[in-house]
């Protein structure tokens, strides 16, 4: 790392082979802290429950030493914790991309119809007696189809922020209404299952769902490396962006499509735990004090948030289990409010 001119605005240059990236110190510190907190949260999540397993035993089980707790820690709790971390990270990525393209801090997968598309497809699958393994693939397709619809509606204006959000809200409402119709005309038990799916839960899920999300994120990795760089120009207006040699419409479509893929994949696997996508980018942005949500820190924060939410849902009212979707809002909401109040106080 070497420091340079005032032009770098307090950044240091990170050089790795052909890679040259100016970086501020704060996002790096935040990212490292989040990784440590995430590790601690995962250990805690493997430790708490019935039976309780001491953290030291959790670590020994994880190291493959062979302990009496292997079944509880490695087979029962680990898959769910890994799923929570991966799903949270995917929601964080999706939220960052969608909020940046929509230029709207309130945007999340449910604002552009992805959640509702997945929800409608899942509801149809759950109430029509389709095989259980078909629910997630159906939801994935449903989410993607809804997004294509939103893109088509927004395309005439180059997927401009406001148009994108309006098209999304319109599609989301229409799909939600359809979902209600399907649910109300279905067998009440099936309707209830569909409703639980829509809230989003990690209960009874594990390696299969985690693998889907991990695979998608891995496949998107090259795009995400580009996106981390491309995101910084989404706040510029189109004329300015063209002036400096960018193609803003192509960029928006690429970034939004990446966000939609992440959102549809994770929603299909764990349901509509949307609040993570809404809150993680905004909290991360305030933690790193940047003008836009940071991709990596949002992903890490999303992971941390969902691991904690799932843990709280399992333990707070044990033996009653609350779905993670309920808890993310309960934890993330107040924290965002706290950050908003603190930022306002400092600015004025």
Partner 1 sequence: MTAMLSTRDLVVGYETRTVLDGLDLDLPADAFTVIVGPNACGKSTLLRTMARLLTPRRGAVLLDGTAIRDLPTREVARRLGVLPQSPLVPEGITVADLVGRGRQPYQRWWRQWSAEDGRAVDEAMAMADVAELADRPVDTLSGGQRQRVWIAMTLAQDTEALLLDEPTTFLDLAHQVEVLDLLHRLRAERGRTVVAVLHDLNQAARYADHLVAMRAGAVVAAGPPREILTADLVRDVFGLDCVVVPCPVTGAPLVVPALTHTSAAPAATPAPAGASVGDA
Q: What are the residues binding partner 1 (CB under 8 A)? A: 4-10, 13, 18-22, 225-226, 228-230, 232-233, 235-237, 239-240, 242-247, 290-292
Q: What is the nearest approach in angstroms of partner 1 to the Cβ of residue 229? A: 4
The alpha carbon of residue 10 and the mean position of all alpha carbons in its chain are separated, in whole angstroms, by: 30
How many other CB atoms are found less than 10 A from the CB of residue 182? Answer: 19
Q: What is the nearest approach in angstroms of partner 1 to the Cβ of residue 173? A: 29
Nearer CB in complex with partner 1: 195/233: 233
Cα Rg of the chain (Å, integer): 21
Question: Between helices 295-315 and 25-47, what is the axis angle to 10°?
Answer: 20
Nearer CB in complex with partner 1: 25/242: 242
Q: How far apart are the first and last CA of the chain?
A: 35
Q: What is the nearest approach in angstroms of partner 1 to the Cβ of residue 245? A: 3
Nearer CB in complex with partner 1: 271/293: 293
Q: What is the nearest approach in angstroms of partner 1 to the Cβ of residue 282? A: 13
Helices (H), the chain: 25-47, 55-62, 70, 78-102, 114-127, 135-155, 161-184, 188-199, 207-230, 238-243, 248-270, 275-288, 295-315, 324-347
Nearer CB in complex with partner 1: 24/60: 24
Nearer CB in complex with partner 1: 129/291: 291
Q: Are 264 and 115 in contact (CB under 8 A)?
A: no
Q: What is the nearest approach in angstroms of partner 1 to the Cβ of residue 250? A: 10
């Amino acid at each position: 790392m070497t420091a340079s001119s005032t032009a770098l605005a307090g950044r240091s240059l990170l050089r790795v082979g052909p890679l040259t990236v100016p970086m501020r110190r704060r996002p790096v510190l935040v990212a490292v802290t989040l990784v440590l907190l995430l590790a601690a949260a995962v250990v805690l999540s493997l430790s708490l429950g019935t039976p309780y397993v001491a953290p030291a035993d959790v670590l020994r089980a994880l190291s493959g030493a062979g302990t009496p707790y292997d079944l509880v820690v490695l087979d029962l709790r680990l898959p769910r914790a890994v799923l929570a971390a991966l799903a949270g990270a995917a929601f964080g990525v999706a939220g960052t991309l969608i909020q940046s393209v929509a230029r709207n801090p309130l945007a999340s997968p449910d604002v552009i119809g992805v959640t509702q598309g997945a929800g409608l497809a899942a509801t149809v699958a759950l109430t029509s007696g389709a095989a259980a393994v078909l629910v997630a693939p159906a939801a994935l397709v449903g989410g993607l189809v809804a997004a294509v619809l939103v893109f088509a509606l927004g395309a005439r204006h180059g997927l401009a922020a406001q148009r994108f959000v309006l098209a999304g809200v319109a599609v989301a409402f229409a799909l939600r209404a359809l979902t209600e119709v399907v649910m109300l005309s279905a067998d009440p038990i099936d309707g209830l299952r569909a409703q639980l799916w829509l809230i989003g839960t990690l209960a009874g899920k594990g390696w299969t769902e985690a693998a889907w999300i991990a695979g998608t994120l891995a496949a998107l990795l090259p795009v995400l490396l580009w996106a981390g760089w491309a995101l910084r120009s989404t706040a510029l207006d189109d004329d300015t962006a063209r002036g400096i040699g960018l193609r803003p419409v192509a960029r928006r479509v690429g970034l939004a499509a990446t966000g939609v893929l992440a959102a549809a994949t994770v929603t299909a696997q764990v349901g509509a735990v949307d609040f993570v996508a809404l809150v993680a980018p905004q909290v991360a942005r305030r933690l790193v004090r940047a003008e836009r949500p940071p991709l990596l820190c949002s992903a890490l924060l999303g992971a941390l948030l969902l691991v904690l939410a799932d843990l709280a849902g399992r333990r707070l009212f044990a033996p009653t289990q609350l779905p993670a979707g309920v808890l993310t809002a309960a934890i993330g909401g107040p924290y965002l409010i706290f950050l908003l109040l603190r930022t306002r106080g400092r600015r004025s």
